[in-house]
Chains A and B, each alone.
Chain A
Amino acid sequence: MATEPRPPAPAAQRGGTLILVAFALALVGIVGATVAFLPRGERPPAMSVVGGPFRLESSKGGTVDSRALKGKPFLVFFGFTQCPNVCPTTLADLGTLLDEFGAQGGEIQAYYITLDPERDTAAVMREYMASFSERITGLTGTKEAIDAVIRDYRAFVKRVPLPGGDYTLEHTLMVYMMDRDGGFAGPLDLSAGHPLALKQLRKLVSDGRST
């Protein structure tokens, strides 16, 4: 009895499963390719294609190398110090949130990366970031280094000339949640209040991924 050939049904099921897997892989490929060519900055980008290594000057002195962050989820947010409205309020809000998270026993670092390295030198960033939570570190670097981060994070930035000869920047406002492997885990939602954002952070820290 034991040596008899197996009934055909399971084999057919296995074949069916293989076909399904092939279809699924093809689908993933198509979706992935579509997502990779989406216009930059128009919407929260696809998770798999966002993020990348960086090595930038820290507002706390020295440099921050993303390789040293391996194993620890972190947050990334872009802006510039000559931003009058949303950047400072978001930094203040995010700082309060991270301190609340800290008081609850959670710990996560956020990195505020300037899009204006020309004006935001390490000294400027140091003075500016001192007004916010210590859990947020300002980062700057050469134009090339910042451009590479902007590209990797699929961030949008556009220089807008002002009448007085100055310029301002239009840019992505999303707070990126990055998982323990440096992969994009979704945007942190600060608009719906701290309880929800804290829940997102807890999930990010507990499993390195967010839904």
Chain B
Amino acid sequence: MRSIALPAALLLALGLAAAGPAKAHDYSAGPLKLGHPWSRATPGGAKVAGGYVTVTNTGSDPDRLTGGSIEAAGRTELHTMSMEGGVMKMAPLPNGLEVAPGKTVTLAPSGHHLMFMDLKRPLKQGERVKGTLTFERAGAVPVEFAVESLAAKEPGKGPGKEKASGHDHSGHDHGH
């Protein structure tokens, strides 16, 4: 499965480039809609950060989110978090998360999330970090994660007053 990831990513990059301007901070990859990938500014020296996004499958075949990456992290795992009686429970999701046709899967601080590990540098509020979201069928989709405030528990106002300066994440300029 992993062997198809790179060609798929290239195809998708081309597909995205042809897709024209996208709204706000969303991406499309075939039938998958990826809504506002975001992360959080990291405290001093932090080695980890969470990655969040919504994935909607508008197609008729199931796909599976298997992981992701950002250029600032050595590696990334897919985890799930839950609260049970005042205790935070954590578990890896080695088999990924199915995105069934017509369904939306949400990665959020209070549930499933990407865990960016071995951070090489801090994430700063307001920046966009290049990365990917990896799917079984759709392959590695290039996205940018918007870095929100250290306190952000949900994607709020975004990183603030951004100038619409030709950096509209419409699929071009992914640095490949």
CA distance A170 to B50 in the complex (A): 16
- How many chain A residues touch B (CB < 8 A): the figure is 37
Q: Digit string of A89-124 for contact with B (CB within 8 Å is 1, else 0)?
A: 101110010000000000000000000000000001
CA distance A109 to B6 in the complex (A): 51
Which residue in A42, A83, A91, A129 is a CB contact (below 8 Å) of B48? Answer: A83
Query: For B75, what are the chain A residues with a Cβ–Cβ distance below 8 Å?
Result: 164
A88-B40, A164-B117 known; A127+B88 contact, CB < 8 A:
no
| Residues of chain B having any CB pair with chain A under 8 Å | 40, 42-50, 75, 77, 79, 81, 83, 85-92, 94, 109-110, 113, 115-117, 149-153
Query: For A163, what are the chain B residues with a Cβ–Cβ distance below 8 Å?
Result: 77, 92, 94
CA distance A77 to B55 in the complex (A): 34
Query: For A172, what are the chain B residues with a Cβ–Cβ distance below 8 Å?
Result: 86-88
Nearest chain B CB to A63's CB is how many angstroms away?
21
* Contact (Cβ within 8 A) B43 A43: no
Which residue in B46, B86, B109 is a CB contact (below 8 Å) of A85? Answer: B109
Q: Digit string of A35-65 for contact with B (CB within 8 Å is 1, else 0)?
A: 0000001111000000000000000000000
Cβ of A128 within 8 Å of any chain B Cβ, yes or no, is: yes
Cβ of A84 within 8 Å of any chain B Cβ, yes or no, is: yes
